[in-house]
């Protein structure tokens, strides 16, 4: 059993008890036995109770001059909607069962799913009759979650539905079987997307086709780090309908939603760079939601295709000291200084850079790395002398001296005391390149293309 976040409802269990009896005439009366159902009785557990005890003998009725020759008792669980608390838990979620407490249940089997069975009576049965096909990692939620499925749109027959996909022949659909009617509601939840370290032109986009009434509501929401609070995501071109009193209660706090029918593929785009707290988040999730009004008209459904999560990220480039077409300058003394925050870093602390060089090396030409915690008044050396490349660098069984032949990762330990210094948040890193006047290129003469040293991807590792 798995509890999930849904737009407006969760479920609670009640027991439906039915008795089937095989009733036959007494030995004094001729006739064949008959099967009779005595009906059902619904038992609602009281909150806090560990068991259900009820006397239901009143539902057993035997005709005069008859006797019970056989009997069977059918007990099954029914689910009734209750108000949603805005959370979802279960195996595979960060808010797993280990983050809470539970009694008289087991999570030791069935892949970590919570089971009402004891450890000595484990069993699992499904007939797969209600299985639907959805994209990997996506989850239909809510009372009508099974209406989300992937369909081949070329097989659809209704004029209210597409006959071609935006891309290929398949699309994600809500209500492709024309089963949508009044007061149906559901969302489909996306997998987790890792928030990029460098957020630049981050966006979500998809194509969609919709066939709904003017009082239905469709919209998109997002959350960070599996938080319980969901926020509406606004497309760059906006939604097409202002929320009115005719729309469902679930969207009355929103200003606008999608309503009505488009009957064509429309492209929508959501810009995510400026979302509050995005820079401090680790992951994002989205959900597409639909809520039907009490209008009983038939709906053709919602079809979504060509969904894209995109981030342009960091601009290509690196810091370069040298000459792009020949020998670098003799007797150079070039310095690059950048701010760095050492606060909160745990031992061991390590500086990583990527470097690509074509420089003489040795004690003649090279780069040293320093740090300062007093705004540059004094500096502490991080690289062993005479610097990079110095007398050579070993990497993956190869030894590189005056040419790296590409980008190599370099690692330098940083004293643990930097993270507790009073100026830890205001540190500085200095990259200093010095050359002499003897040879001003790496490798053999003459210079081959660019000469010098490049650095990129400066990273501090902690713990």
**What pLDDT is attached to residue 2?**
32
Taken in order 444, 447, 449, 450, the sign of the CA dihedral is positive
**Verdict on whether the full-model pTM lies above 0.75:** no
- Spatial neighbors of 371 by CB under 8 A, at least 6 apart, are 340, 379, 380, 382, 414, 418, 427, 428, 429, 430
Domains 139-310 and 319-462 share a fold: yes
Q: Is 114 helix (H, G, I), strand (E, B) or coil?
A: coil
67 token code pair = 């006797």
Q: Please name the fold of domain 319-462.
A: Jelly Rolls (2.60.120)
Ordered by start, the domain boundaries in the chain are 9-121, 139-310, 319-462
Which residue has better confidence, 419 or 313? 419
Cross-strand partners of 33: none
- Domain 139-310 CATH superfamily: Galactose-binding domain-like (2.60.120.260)
Q: Which of 25-39, 162-176, 305-319 has the lowest mean pLDDT?
A: 25-39
Is the confidence at residue 90, as pLDDT, over 60? no
Angle at 261 between CA 302 and CA 158, to 5 degrees: 65
Residue 418 dihedral angles phi and psi, to the nearest 5°: -65, -30
| pLDDT above 60: residue 294 | yes
Instruction: Note the pLDDT tens digit of each residue in 239-268.
Output: 999 999 999 999 999 999 999 999 999 999
Task: Report which listed range, 112-126, 207-221, 269-283, is most confident.
Answer: 207-221
pLDDT of residue 1: 29
Q: What is the per-residue pLDDT across 379-399, written as a single tens digit (0 to 9) for each?
A: 999 999 999 999 999 999 999
Banded pLDDT at 153 (limits 50, 70, 90): very high
Which pLDDT belongs to residue 279? 85
Say if residue 136's pLDDT is above 80.
yes
For 146, which DSSP code? G
Residue 62 binned pLDDT confidence (cut-offs 50, 70, 90): confident
Over residues 155-161, mean pLDDT: 93
pLDDT band at 23 (very low <50, low <70, confident <90, very high): low
Mean pLDDT of the chain: 83
**Residues contacting residue 293 through CB under 8 Å, at least 6 positions apart:** 182, 183, 213, 215, 216, 217, 246, 247, 248
Q: What is the pLDDT of residues 428-463, one digit of tens each?
A: 999 999 999 999 999 888 888 999 999 999 999 998
Alpha-carbon gap, residue 83 to 85, rounded angstroms: 7
């Amino acid at each position: 059993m798995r509890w999930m976040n849904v737009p407006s409802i969760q479920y609670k269990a009640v027991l439906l008890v039915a008795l089937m009896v095989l009733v036959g005439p007494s030995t004094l009366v001729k006739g064949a036995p008959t099967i009779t159902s005595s009906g059902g009785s619904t038992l609602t557990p009281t909150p806090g109770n560990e068991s259900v005890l009820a006397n239901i003998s009143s539902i057993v009725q035997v005709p005069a001059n008859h006797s019970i020759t056989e009997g069977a008792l059918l007990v099954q669980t029914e689910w009734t909607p209750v108000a949603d608390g805005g959370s979802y838990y279960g195996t595979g979620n960060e808010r797993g069962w280990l983050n809470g407490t539970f009694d008289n249940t087991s999570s030791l089997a069935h892949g970590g799913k919570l089971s009402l069975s004891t450890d000595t009576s484990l069993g699992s049965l499904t007939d797969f009759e209600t299985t639907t096909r959805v994209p990997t990692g996506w989850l239909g939620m809510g009372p009508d979650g099974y209406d989300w499925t992937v369909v081949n749109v070329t097989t659809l027959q209704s004029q209210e539905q597409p006959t071609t996909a935006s891309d290929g022949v398949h699309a994600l659909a809500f209500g492709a079987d024309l089963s949508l009617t009044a007061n149906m509601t559901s969302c489909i939840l996306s997998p987790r997307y890792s928030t990029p370290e460098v957020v630049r032109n981050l966006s979500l986009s998809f194509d969609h086709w919709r066939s709904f009434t003017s009082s239905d509501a469709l919209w998109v929401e997002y959350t960070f780090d599996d938080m319980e609070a969901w926020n509406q995501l606004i497309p760059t071109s906006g939604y097409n309908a202002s929320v009115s009193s005719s729309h469902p209660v679930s969207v009355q706090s929103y200003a606008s939603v999608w309503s009505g029918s488009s009957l064509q593929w429309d492209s929508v785009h959501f810009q995510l760079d400026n979302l509050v707290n995005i820079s401090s988040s680790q992951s994002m999730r989205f959900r597409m939601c639909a809520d039907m009004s009490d209008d009983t008209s038939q709906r053709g459904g919602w079809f979504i295709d060509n969904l894209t999560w995109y981030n342009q990220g960091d601009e290509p480039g690196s810091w370069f000291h040298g000459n792009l077409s020949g020998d670098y300058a003799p007797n150079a003394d070039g310095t690059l200084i950048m701010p760095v925050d050492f606060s909160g870093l745990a031992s061991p602390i390590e500086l990583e850079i990527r470097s690509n060089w074509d420089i003489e090396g040795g004690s003649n030409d090279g780069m040293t790395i320093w740090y300062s915690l007093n705004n540059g008044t004094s500096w502490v050396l991080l690289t062993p002398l005479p610097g990079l490349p110095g007398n050579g660098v070993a990497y993956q069984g190869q030894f590189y001296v005056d040419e790296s032949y590409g980008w190599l990762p370099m690692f330098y330990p940083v004293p643990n005391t930097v993270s507790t210094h009073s100026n830890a948040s205001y540190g500085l890193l200095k990259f200093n390149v010095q050359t002499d006047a003897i040879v001003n290129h790496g490798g053999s003469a003459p210079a081959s293309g660019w000469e010098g040293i490049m650095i990129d991807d400066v990273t501090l590792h902690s713990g």
